[in-house]
Amino acid sequence: AQSVTQPDIHITVSEGASLELRCNYSYGATPYLFWYVQSPGQGLQLLLKYFSGDTLVQGIKGFEAEFKRSQSSFNLRKPSVHWSDAAEYFCAVGAGKLIFGTGTRLQVFP
């Protein structure tokens, strides 16, 4: 069965610190993988996606993610977090029909 697991429900970091949000997936074929961000009271916005090729993908707002097939992971990273990055982050897998993880809420302290 297709599924996405985000093990961290809530993460708190200081502004300027590095960030890594974890995502593990289960998918029967080569996965299409995505990270979306949701600001309070808003819909989701696509940060980045992986379809094939280079396993390190760059996204908007300085985010990147690395696909590791051996670990079934697609972790999201940012070298230096800004206060405006505080939001909820969703990992998703699928082709056409996306399955979302339960999300990780990021809090940023000044």
Partner 1 sequence: DAGVIQSPRHEVTEMGQEVTLRCKPISGHDYLFWYRQTMMRGLELLIYFNNNVPIDDSGMPEDRFSAKMPNASFSTLKIQPSEPRDSAVYFCASSSTGSREKLFFGSGTQLSVL
Q: Which residues bind partner 1 (CB under 8 A)?
A: 32, 34, 36, 41-46, 49, 90, 94-103
At 103, list the tokens.
Answer: 């999300």
Nearer to partner 1, 81 or 93 (CB): 93
- 6 HSE (CA, 13 A, CB side): 25
Q: How far is CA 27 from CA 2, 5, 31, 52, 104, in A?
A: 5, 12, 6, 15, 20
Q: Are 73 and 49 in contact (CB under 8 A)?
A: no
Shortest Cβ 44–partner 1 spacing (Å): 5
Nearer to partner 1, 15 or 22 (CB): 22
Shortest Cβ 11–partner 1 spacing (Å): 17
Shortest Cβ 2–partner 1 spacing (Å): 11
Nearer to partner 1, 34 or 81 (CB): 34
